[in-house]
Structure 1
Amino acid sequence: MPKPPNREEDFVLEEPSPDPPVRFAEQALLGALILEPLRIKTLGPLGPEHFSVPMHDALFAAMRTLTPPAAAVHVREPVWITSLLEQARPHARGLTASYLHTLVASCPEPAHAPAYARMIVANRTRLTIRNAAEQLIQAATHPAPPNPCAHVLDRADALAAVLDNLAGLFPSHPGSVPRTPLPPPPPRDASPESGTVEVEQLLLSTAAARPACLSEMRWLRPEDFAVPLHGVLYRSMSSLAYRGDPIDAVTVLWEGQHHGLLDSGTTPQEVLDLLATPAGSAEHWGEQILQRALLHHAHATGLHVRAVTNDPANTPHQLVTGSRRALADLSAVRARWQHATRPAPSGPRRKPAPPSRAGPVTPRLIPATVSTRTSR
């Protein structure tokens, strides 16, 4: 027999989440300033925007606006509390005199107000870096036409500017590298809808047919390919080109076996078929591959920085140091992208157009998993 609806035991109240440590730091600081208003001059670069609770924001803004009473008056009369309530209540309707007494009771020692202020600034630092990382992730996962790379790099520059502004607030100290376990890199999009596989195969077949382009594409790396098999094939071509050996489908197949090309079950005939459909310009396909790699690295960088900010064990200096290291990895890909897309010395570079055919170019798809073992 089914249970009757709306029984009392069907409603389970969740335990309220505990207040974060910064909440107690904010209460302690405001309590200190209620007790000793003149200590507001010792707080350094603290502003209302650093507080996590809107009521605390409004109350601190009122403290900065009002002139503290003389010490003798403050001891005898509640002039300071009355003025704070009048100034802050229009911006914090729930503020009461009772809550001001709660703040006073939450302050262990008014002389520690500068330390409480540093805690509040440190928490805002964490949130500021995290917000910049979220914007980088958003730009990488939702590319903005017509130039998604420019948008992503703007977000990366904004994150770098945030880190530069925050670096001077916190002194360096030993052991500043965060030990936060990093999240796994996001998966590469190799779905048929993305066109990634087709673009990579067109690059490989075109480079095998016209290998002279490889010397002009040193900005492309095997790790830029979304499909491991394609990265191994490109590494094989690059090795042949570096040694000055002949390059065609057969020599690439032979070189590829030394890089683990056949370990995943891919047959030699499948490799030859993949390299048999050259079309268009290798530089054009290479730029598309590198663009996808740049967006992928930006996504991974944003996830890295977000993970560091989500770890409360990290100090503000560790947050800045760890985030800068993550950006350094993205900068290496950025440099290659800028090299690939910079204008030619004689004038603006014309991007080669894709091949014009009666129908779309559809290279034969083969299994896309292979070992990435280094060359023996």
Structure 2
Amino acid sequence: MSQPTDPYEDHLDDLPPARPVHYAEQALLGALLLDPHRLTEISDLDADQFGNHAHGALFQAMRTAPLPNPEDHRSDPAWLNTVLDAARPHAPGLTASYLHTLIQVCPWPKHAPTYARMVQADHARRTVLIHAERLVQTTTDTTLPNPAATTLAQADTLGQFLDTLAGRFASHPGSLPRTEVPATRAGQRGEEAIDEERLLLATATAHPAELKDMRWLQPDDFTLPLHAGLWQCLSALVHNGEPVDAITILWEAQHRGLLADGLDPRHLIDLLSTPVGSPEYWGERVLQRALLGRASDVGTRIAAYAQDPANTPHQLITGSRRALADLTALRTRWTRSASPPRAPRAPRGPAVTRAGPPPRTTAPSARALR
């Protein structure tokens, strides 16, 4: 007869295996419990850098408890009891037996600084992942009043953290991560994005003179290749001083091969014949969408680097910095589009000829007024 299954039974075998950093934290704490004076060798390690909360609480208790006399510590567990009592309010699951387990699993107490660097490296990886995920979430937050500025601020925060990490971890050969990151840009397409691009093309066709001040918008900013090609047609006609309307753009599109896929010319003419608003407004909308899409791609790539445990801290830093660099050019163009137009220069004064002295502009002298 089969035994009934206890619904409250703990299925410990179903738990995922502990990650390597768990054993590094245990080895570090065991080394410090054996030789508390090694705390001075890892002064740059903080309690919040531990992945296990109980381990961090125990480490913080070690930091706050006065160091024992080395000779007394070998035979007296008083310091261990002090540390345990200080850590238990923050981690009630800690027991005296677990402290003995930490001591037993430590291979070499003299390797404590190395164990500490392992803990710091894993904390750096987890923190980069948090920043990258926040960057991705910011790009899709529709409640933000200024999504572009908020996204760029989050990218700056991530970049500053990477700069801080660069000073903590030494560089070494083979610094590029080999993590494969799937392309995500295609997923940014949507009806709203396509509609905004169509309105931009139609409005720019109606007001082509404004394109001279919109060099900050590039074909790569469009989600559809057809729209990018039509923007190139518009820009070329304006640059060459040619007349711009739906028919001239259609002719230019034919020369550029945009009709080769069976596009109906009537459909293209209709697309370019419904202007609304100003080209600059729709151009900024298209550029902002491109900026948010690029930032999302960058955050996704950095998150993939951080989730790959095969990457060393230096590989993570280098790969993440290169990913952020892909946002720089687009960010520069966005800043240029959002900057106010320059005020017109004041008219110059009349030119001075060499034939005679400059005209008198000062007030007459007192003698002349007498």
> Please, what TM-score do these two structures have when normalized by structure 1?
0.85
Residues 282, 7 of structure 1: alpha-carbon distance in 2 compared, 3 angstrom cutoff: farther
Structure 1 distance, partners of 2:232, 2:341, is 26
Q: Structure 2: 5+ residue runs without aligned partners?
A: 345-370
Deviation at 1:76, TM superposition (A): 1.9
Map 1:349-360 to 2 at 5 A: none
Looking at structure 2, the residues matched to 309 and 109 of structure 1 have their Cα atoms a distance apart, in angstroms, of 29
1:255, CA displacement in angstroms? 2.4
Residue matched to 1:303: 300
Aligned match for 2:310, one of 291, 309, 313: 313
Pick closer, same or farther for the CA change 1:51–1:222 going to 2, 3 Å: same
Quote the offset at 1:127 in angstroms: 0.7
Superposition pairs for residues 187-266 of structure 1, below 5 Å? Answer: 187-192=186-191, 194=192, 196-266=193-263
Contact preservation (8 Å) 2:298, 2:324: yes
Q: Which amino acid aligns with 1:216?
A: D
Partner of 1:84: 83
Structure 2 residue aligned with 1:345: 342
Who is 2:163 aligned against?
164
Partner of 2:97: 98
CA contact (8 A) 1:219 1:340 kept: yes
Deviation at 1:199, TM superposition (A): 1.9
Shift of 1:259: 3.7
C-alpha displacement of 1:244: 4.1
**Identity within the alignment, %:** 49
* Structure 1 residues not aligned, in runs of 5+: 1-5, 348-376
Distance 1:94 1:182, change over 3 A: same
**Secondary structure of the residue that 1:345 maps to in structure 2?**
coil
Task: Name 2:274's counterpart in structure 1.
Answer: 277
| C-alpha contact (below 8 Å) 2:216/2:336 kept by paired residues | yes
Residues 139, 293 of structure 2: 8 Å contact kept: yes
User: Who is 1:357 aligned against?
Assistant: none
Q: Matched residues in 1 for 2:323 and 2:100: separation? A: 45
CA distance in 2: counterparts of 1:209 and 1:69, whole angstroms: 82
User: How many equivalent pairs are there?
Assistant: 340
Q: Is 1:332 matched with 2:332?
A: no
Q: Which residue of 2 aligns with 1:127?
A: 126
9-18 vs 128-137, which moves further = 9-18
Please give the alpha-carbon distance, in whole angstroms, between the structure 2 residues aligned to 1:93 and 1:7.
33
In structure 2, distance between residues paired with 1:314 and 1:72: 42
More off after superposition, 88-97 vs 48-57: 88-97
What's the CA shift string for 1:123-170, capped at 9, x where partnerless? 000011111111111110113332111111111111111111111001
Indicate how the Cα distance of structure 1 residues 9 and 80 shifts in structure 2: closer, same or farther if over 3 A, else same.
closer
Change (3 A) 1:75 1:259: same
CA distance in 1, matches of 2:107, 2:86: 26
SS of the residue corresponding to residue 76 of structure 1 reads coil
Cα offsets for 1:101-135 (capped at 9, x unmatched): 11011111001000000000000000111111111
Matched residue type, 1:26 = E
**AA of the residue aligned to 1:298:** A
Question: Which AA in structure 2 matches 1:222?
Answer: P
How much does 1:230 deviate? 0.9
Q: Hey, what's the Cα distance between the residues in 1 that align with 2:260 and 2:298? A: 31
Q: Aligned with 1:187: secondary structure?
A: helix
Aligned equivalent of 1:73: 72
SS at match of 1:67: coil
Matched, 1:47 2:54: no
- Aligned pair in 2 of structure 1 residues 314, 259: CA closer, same or farther (>3 Å)? farther
- SS of structure 2 residue aligned to 1:91: coil
The one-letter code of the counterpart of 2:141 is H
Give the RMSD, CA atoms, in angstroms: 2.2
How far off its partner does 1:280 sit? 2.2
Relative to structure 2, which stretch is displaced further, 266-275 or 16-25?
A: 266-275
Structure 2 Cα separation of the partners of residues 263 and 173 of structure 1: 51
**CA distance, structure 1, for counterparts of residue 241 and residue 43 of structure 2:** 63
Task: Output the TM-score relative to the length of structure 2.
Answer: 0.86
Structure 2 residue matching 1:90: 3-state secondary structure: coil
